[in-house]
Structure 1
Amino acid sequence: MAATRGATTETAPAAGAGEEEGERVKPFTPEKAKEILMSLQQPAVFCNMAFDWPAQHWTVKHLSEVLPGKQIRFRMGMKRTDTVPQFETTCNYVEATLEEFLTWNCGQPTMSGPFRDYDHSKFWAYADYKYFVSLFDDKADIFQDVIWSDFGFPGRNGRESTLWIGSMGAHTPCHLDSYGCNLVFQVQGRKRWHLFPPEDTPFLYPTRIPYEESSVFSKINVVNPDLKRFPQFRKARRHTVTLNPGQVLFVPRHWWHYVESIDPVTVSINSWIELEEDHQARVEEAITRMLVCALKTAEDPTNTRAWLNPTEVEETSHEVNCRYLNRAVSALFDHYRTSKVIEIQALRTNREDMKQEGLNVHSRMAVEQTGGQDVILGTGKWAAASPFGPDLVPVILSSEELPSEKGGIFEGDGNNFVGKDGEHSGKLRCTKRQRMMSKSEDAVVEQIASNSSTAPSQTFISTDDLLDCLVNPQVTRIVAQLLIQGRSLEF
């Protein structure tokens, strides 16, 4: 596993330093950790919160002994640096055991077995999105090895988690998750995270093709962007961090992320934490699913592989999608009835309020100066004592400059993350570059214009072009609000 530990943890003293291992005390109580999570609107890394989790020993070698002979699906991608994202729909897949993965990952030529057609020097392998309940279906006791309750979520463990195992170069395309926020525990090896704030969505050129429920993809390969085709990406604010074993990364709601394995073997565990906003988000996703499936199946009823992510296994018929939409709307109102969190009057907003809420998807996040650096802490000033320190480190804005021409690989490794005395070096330069979301509409128009100007030979509007407009997250939010407002009159 990881040989060189990044500065994220090099300068972070272990909790209870100088004490016996059994006497180590975690830096935050579950109540305090949850308070921090629910307030932060910036990614941050928790240190010394999982040193006693049994899952910290879940190396691939260990898991191969826990799951002997278990067939696991690996996504196979090319080790290449072109400007086109490697979406799941463009990858091949193999069924293999963890023992076979380890043998292949040693780099020795394999003349037989599931990896025989994949040269290790040219391909990476990724067992991603592996839900514990499916992976360990006959070993429920292992769920207790993951203790998310330490972050203020009582009873939450591996049952609500997914496992990710990859070789060097394995990655997920840049995307945002429609639901919840994300906690990621790094177990083996290191992963580099490239993150972008929600209000930069227009600059990431969002698309729903390939379609996957709850995932909005970017058209851009963010580690090698084509700036001629996607010029607005220059305005996006990249935050980077190298996540080391034992650390837990918090990814706030709707933050874009591209994640890549930078060690020979990586293992991580994540859990998506439900939020109040998810109830409306599920309505938006149901609308999106109905539109995407209707248009794409009408275009070619026999070929879903080209646009439907392999993770989507549910039926895509219009009848099924109608039921899905109705269930989402019903669940939203059931929640309102029981929780009384949102008053009906809030659903009956006027058109101008709806426009502001819909087009301005995310209100401007408050940026407050704390300890010599800008820290995003929700809608107001944090208490006098900042939560940041050696055990909670903010993911800072990358200092990497975009290349002037198409191409260029970003190599930021987070080594200037924390100073030698635990002080945060660098400055999150959000204040000068912070944009009021009233400008996002102009960015969308510029994005559309730049798309059309870079493809002069295109003489028709494709289904994908139409879908990019119809199911743009900003548009589906407006549609969902109109739908909810109309149904609320009967409520």
Structure 2
Amino acid sequence: MAAGSAQSAHSVLAPGTAGAEGEHVKPFTPEKAKEIIMCLQQPAIFCNMVFNWPARHWTAKHLSEVLHGKQIRFRMGLKSIDTVPQFETACSYVDATLEEFLTWNCDQHSSSGPFRDYDHSKFWAYADYKYFISLFEDRTDIFQGVIWSDFGFPGRNGQESTLWIGSLGAHTPCHLDSYGCNLVFQVQGRKRWHLFPPEDTPFLYPTRIPYEESSVFSKINVVNPDLKHFPQFQKAQRHTVTLNPGQVLFVPRHWWHYVESIDPVTISINSWIELEEDHLARVEEAITRMLVCALKTAEDPQNTRAWLNPTEVEETSHEVNCHYLNRAVAAFFDHYRTSKVVEIQGLNESGENMKKEQLNVSSHMAVEQTLHQNLAMGTIKQEATSSFGPDLILITPTSEGPHSERRGIFESNGKEFVHKDGEHFTKLYYARGRQMTSKSEKAMVQQTASKSTTVPPQAFVSTDDLLDCMVNPQVTRMVAQLLIQGKSL
């Protein structure tokens, strides 16, 4: 009795628990929640903040009734563990209703319907990036079921949210979002999150190929890493957490994340929160998009004078330029294979010097920002351990090390920490032309296997190889700073 009487109004009942009116009190006011979100520089889980949200009851079955047979697109991937990430470009797509998805998900031997070509035991399905504003265009009233104003963002609701529906094994490759921070509400089922801090970016081997606006991908499959080709990944600080229904995960700006569904059906709702730093990020994204599109689009041979110096009299088609680049690279490797004086190590040393110079290019604003973040992080950490109590769970690095076996990874599970008693913004997302690839399992296996082939450094240089270097986030950041500096003169 003494322990029970010591509970203050700050404590809450577990979501869905019946009790007298007034007993459900949220642990953080909207103002306090926003303060935490804007200052905290590590992932954390908010507990007992959404028990009164109508969206709390949006199971897949309920949504299938709300959508009235509306077809949505599902991404289909293989349930296989490969060392190569399974990017969207290696997946197939199926247009189906939620009811058809649930039927396929329950009947593992279904031989009819849109999922008939996909063996449930070998494939997963994921309806991701489904924006409320287009998904529920005929039911705008449903927007009010998501109440982000409880986290200090007045007026933000489902209109600025995205829906994710997946089957067991559905996942997104490891990536970071260029814009904002992220709030993720888990509605049904559980998801396992693998998170890595921004300072580990060099260890994640970032790439913009395949290109997606505002997403920087990792070349590594973080749940089955190829440490032979990506040895630096062993230095990364993995943070692993299982997100349970009724919890809200906060993902700070530029934190890497790999997300996988670990229950038969999972539903999540998220919203990207705008930040001051997004202004520079949008410049970087525009530069990246421009370069990718320029190199991926055939040049008009009649319109070269605007950018080509008159001394360049040779043919300038993309095909010829690729051939020229490959001859230069081949000559480079030929030279260093036969030279007894100069070694490749000399090139590596030059690269290290270049990295040091790149660090010096960082603007004064970036330094001030880092200082502010560090100070804020220290303050929040101290406050979190002293007064936030069990309703804010800070996600710490795993104790087993970054390259642990998947089954051996320590996980923070929200259920273990829940108390025993108890301006308009969306992520810019360009519609991507997703072409349907072969639906057969054989084709999918071949696609995945072809990605796994190890290519020697002196192999043919493709446009993607060149783009991978040109639109590297570090390079793009320098280009953006130079561009802004040039326009400020």
Q: TM-score when scaled to structure 2? A: 0.73
**Would you say the 8 A contact 2:27–2:391 is kept in 1?**
yes
> Compared with structure 1, are the counterparts of its residues 12 and 147 closer, same or farther at alpha carbon in structure 2 (3 Å cutoff)?
closer
> Compared with structure 1, are the counterparts of its residues 248 and 21 closer, same or farther at alpha carbon in structure 2 (3 Å cutoff)?
farther
Deviation at residue 466 of structure 1 after TM alignment: 2.1
1:412 aligns with 2:399: no
Deviation string, structure 1 residues 105-137 (Cα, Å, up to 9, x no partner): 003322221100000000000000000010000
Q: Secondary structure at the match of 1:390?
A: helix
Deviation string, structure 1 residues 288-309 (Cα, Å, up to 9, x no partner): 001112123349xxxxxxxxxx
Deviation at residue 190 of structure 1 after TM alignment: 0.2
- 2:246 alignment partner in structure 1: 246
**Would you say the 8 A contact 1:168–1:263 is kept in 2?**
yes
For structure 1, which segment, 356-365 or 244-253, has the greater mean C-alpha deviation from structure 2 after superposition?
356-365
> Compared with structure 1, are the counterparts of its residues 487 and 379 closer, same or farther at alpha carbon in structure 2 (3 Å cutoff)?
farther
Q: Secondary structure at the match of 1:355?
A: coil
Q: Secondary structure at the match of 1:166?
A: strand
1:172 aligns with 2:172: yes
Deviation string, structure 1 residues 134-153 (Cα, Å, up to 9, x no partner): 00001000000000000000
For structure 1, which segment, 40-49 or 413-422, has the greater mean C-alpha deviation from structure 2 after superposition?
413-422
Superposed counterparts of 1:404-443, under 5 Å:
408-410=405-407, 412=409, 414=411
Unaligned runs of 5+ in 2: 1-10, 300-357, 421-453
Deviation at residue 391 of structure 1 after TM alignment: 0.4
Q: Secondary structure at the match of 2:297?
A: helix
Deviation at residue 364 of structure 1 after TM alignment: 7.2
> Compared with structure 1, are the counterparts of its residues 361 and 117 closer, same or farther at alpha carbon in structure 2 (3 Å cutoff)?
farther
**Would you say the 8 A contact 2:73–2:93 is kept in 1?**
yes
Deviation at residue 382 of structure 1 after TM alignment: 4.9
Deviation at residue 379 of structure 1 after TM alignment: 7.4
Deviation at residue 352 of structure 1 after TM alignment: 8.0
- 1:302 alignment partner in structure 2: none
Unaligned runs of 5+ in 1: 1-10, 300-350, 369-375, 424-453
Q: For residues 383 and 171 of structure 1, what CA distance do their matches in structure 2 show?
A: 34
**Would you say the 8 A contact 1:95–1:114 is kept in 2?**
yes
Deviation at residue 411 of structure 1 after TM alignment: 5.2
**Would you say the 8 A contact 2:41–2:373 is kept in 1?**
no
- 1:151 alignment partner in structure 2: 151
For structure 1, which segment, 454-463 or 378-387, has the greater mean C-alpha deviation from structure 2 after superposition?
378-387
Q: For residues 281 and 484 of structure 2, what CA distance do their matches in structure 1 show?
A: 12
- 1:61 alignment partner in structure 2: 61
Q: Which has the higher helix share?
A: 2
Q: For residues 214 and 92 of structure 1, what CA distance do their matches in structure 2 show?
A: 22
> Compared with structure 1, are the counterparts of its residues 37 and 128 closer, same or farther at alpha carbon in structure 2 (3 Å cutoff)?
same
- Matched to 2:271, the amino acid is S
Q: Secondary structure at the match of 1:257?
A: strand
Superposed counterparts of 1:205-354, under 5 Å:
205-298=205-298, 354=361
Q: For residues 139 and 92 of structure 1, what CA distance do their matches in structure 2 show?
A: 29
Match of 1:355 among 357, 362, 386: 362
- Matched to 2:241, the amino acid is V
**Would you say the 8 A contact 1:176–1:215 is kept in 2?**
yes
**Would you say the 8 A contact 1:359–1:474 is kept in 2?**
no
- Matched to 2:362, the amino acid is K
Superposed counterparts of 1:27-42, under 5 Å:
27-42=27-42
Deviation at residue 74 of structure 1 after TM alignment: 0.2
Deviation at residue 386 of structure 1 after TM alignment: 3.9
> Compared with structure 1, are the counterparts of its residues 21 and 227 closer, same or farther at alpha carbon in structure 2 (3 Å cutoff)?
farther
> How many residue pairs end up in the alignment?
389
Q: TM-score when scaled to structure 1? A: 0.73
Deviation at residue 478 of structure 1 after TM alignment: 1.2
**Would you say the 8 A contact 2:85–2:173 is kept in 1?**
yes
- 2:467 alignment partner in structure 1: 467
Q: For residues 467 and 109 of structure 1, what CA distance do their matches in structure 2 show?
A: 43
Deviation string, structure 1 residues 38-92 (Cα, Å, up to 9, x no partner): 1100000000000000000000000001012100000000000111111001100
Q: For residues 361 and 293 of structure 1, what CA distance do their matches in structure 2 show?
A: 34
Deviation at residue 457 of structure 1 after TM alignment: 5.8
Superposed counterparts of 1:17-32, under 5 Å:
19-20=19-20, 22-32=22-32
> Compared with structure 1, are the counterparts of its residues 460 and 421 closer, same or farther at alpha carbon in structure 2 (3 Å cutoff)?
closer
> Compared with structure 1, are the counterparts of its residues 41 and 12 closer, same or farther at alpha carbon in structure 2 (3 Å cutoff)?
farther
Q: For residues 99 and 133 of structure 1, what CA distance do their matches in structure 2 show?
A: 21
Q: For residues 296 and 359 of structure 1, what CA distance do their matches in structure 2 show?
A: 32
- 1:134 alignment partner in structure 2: 134
Q: For residues 99 and 380 of structure 1, what CA distance do their matches in structure 2 show?
A: 44
Deviation string, structure 1 residues 388-443 (Cα, Å, up to 9, x no partner): 42100011111233559xxx5355362577877979xxxxxxxxxxxxxxxxxxxx
> Compared with structure 1, are the counterparts of its residues 241 and 378 closer, same or farther at alpha carbon in structure 2 (3 Å cutoff)?
same
- 2:349 alignment partner in structure 1: none
Q: Secondary structure at the match of 2:31?
A: helix
**Would you say the 8 A contact 1:12–1:390 is kept in 2?**
no
**Would you say the 8 A contact 1:74–1:128 is kept in 2?**
yes
**Would you say the 8 A contact 1:358–1:477 is kept in 2?**
no
Deviation at residue 361 of structure 1 after TM alignment: 12
Q: For residues 75 and 368 of structure 2, what CA distance do their matches in structure 1 show?
A: 33
Deviation at residue 463 of structure 1 after TM alignment: 2.3
Q: For residues 27 and 202 of structure 2, what CA distance do their matches in structure 1 show?
A: 38
1:397 aligns with 2:397: yes
Q: Secondary structure at the match of 2:477?
A: helix
- 1:439 alignment partner in structure 2: none
Q: For residues 363 and 418 of structure 1, what CA distance do their matches in structure 2 show?
A: 33
**Would you say the 8 A contact 1:183–1:248 is kept in 2?**
yes
Deviation string, structure 1 residues 354-393 (Cα, Å, up to 9, x no partner): 336699898478779xxxxxxx826787559745421000
- Matched to 1:291, the amino acid is L
- Matched to 1:272, the amino acid is W
> Compared with structure 1, are the counterparts of its residues 420 and 182 closer, same or farther at alpha carbon in structure 2 (3 Å cutoff)?
closer
Q: For residues 16 and 95 of structure 1, what CA distance do their matches in structure 2 show?
A: 34
